[in-house]
Structure 1
Amino acid sequence: MTDSATFRPDHAQGLNDPRRLETQVSEAELARLLALRGDEDLLDLGSGTGFYTDRMAGLTTGTVYAVELQAEMSKHYLRRGLPTNVRLLQGDFTALAGLSLGPASVDVACSILTWHEARGGMDLPGLTHILRPRGRLVVIDWRKTPDSWASGPPERLRFSKEEVAAALLPHFTQVDSEDLGRFLFAVTARRGETPSALSPRR
């Protein structure tokens, strides 16, 4: 994965701004989308400084594997202190084979504002290998519509929820999409062998 679309480490402190819970994804919204029982193992694809990783860790007694490509981001997270159930993994979510995770290792994988950083090149076959049967993927990213451009990355780096859902269909079933406020969307999918029809929610 090239670094041209990745978040700059020298701006890392901004990722810990609590206002993100108001302007991006709230704790309640994250909990709804993850839909956990409370004992699942999770995979955070692009954990950055751990702002949302910490919140995932608070929703489960299982392990949260925090995958981050940029070592500087992980250093920021380590300085803040990790929850006891978080395990940092240095790696690239466009090439998951390099991670120390075996088959069927996690129940839910989550990408929060990192799909565009991978330019849509997330390792979906590798992800289905890591997910347990009936495991789920949650993708949250920036909307592509003009009214959302006031915040987030340039338009050229964005994907629509329909584009993300279409990319998931060959690898997942029960693919659903929805808008999250003015700036974001969410796509959820379940691991399976047979592609499903796209089911957008307005």
Structure 2
Amino acid sequence: MGFHTFDPERAAKLDDAASRYRYVSAEELVWAVDAAATDTLADLGSGTGFFTDDVAPHAGTVYGVDVQEAMHDRYRENGVPENVELVTAEVAELPFDDGELDGAFSTMTFHEFASEESIAEIERVVTSDGCVAVADWTATGAGEAGPPVSERFSLEEARTRFEAGGFEIAFAASRSETFLLVARAP
């Protein structure tokens, strides 16, 4: 289950607004992240920055975290907002101090890093009561888009993983191909 990365050779697909917004809208993501204008956030699995760009105008600083430097290169080609800093790192080994982030979000990448170590690392770097919003492909979907169903997690699996990491679930919804989970850090 899970833990693969997206092929940078296919990165142009990640910038297709019609297909991306079909599964999570900019408005929904901004609502879920619930950022203040001075907040420091991390987009975990930022890729080409498609969804990072939606959140950036609503925050102070956003770290676009991706394990693949090639994705950052693509983001730079598209143009990176002034308040976005690109960080190449695994989610299980984030280069932030304890409680440094006011929140974090992940869009369609949770299945790539959903380990116990990653959840513990998110808990470490996000301040107490900080918001963590996750929109991802669901294992209960038909697999019409996104990764194979066998590589996905269900909403309940994601909820269980975050709760085991001490997070309180503030919102959870499952849709036909995706889920949205909003959790508060302990």
TM-score, normalised with respect to structure 2: 0.91
Point out 4+ residue stretches in structure 1 off by more than 6 angstroms: none
Identity across matched positions, percent: 32
In structure 2, stretches of 5+ residues that fail to align are none
The structure showing larger relative contact order (alpha-carbon pairs under 8 Å, at least 6 residues apart) is 2
Counterpart in the other structure of 2:108: 113
Q: Contact 1:172–1:189 (CA<8 Å) still a contact in 2?
A: no
Q: Contact 2:4–2:112 (CA<8 Å) still a contact in 1?
A: yes
**Of 107, 110, 130, which residue of structure 1 is paired with 2:125?**
130
Deviations 1:154-173 (A, max 9, x none): 11101100001001112234
Deviations 1:39-65 (A, max 9, x none): 2111110100000011110222x1001
**Which one-letter code corresponds to 2:67 in the other structure?**
L
Distance of 1:121 and 1:134 partners within structure 2: 19
In structure 1, stretches of 5+ residues that fail to align are 193-202
In structure 2, the CA distance between the partners of 1:142 and 1:120, relative to structure 1 (3 Å rule), is farther
In structure 2, the CA distance between the partners of 1:184 and 1:26, relative to structure 1 (3 Å rule), is same
Root-mean-square deviation (Å): 1.8
Counterpart in the other structure of 1:153: 147
Q: Contact 1:112–1:140 (CA<8 Å) still a contact in 2?
A: yes
Q: Spell out the pairing of 1:42-81 with structure 2 (5 A cutoff).
A: 42-60=41-59, 62-81=60-79
TM-score, normalised with respect to structure 1: 0.84
**Which one-letter code corresponds to 1:123 in the other structure?**
S
Larger Rg: 1
Counterpart in the other structure of 2:81: 83
Counterpart in the other structure of 2:22: 23
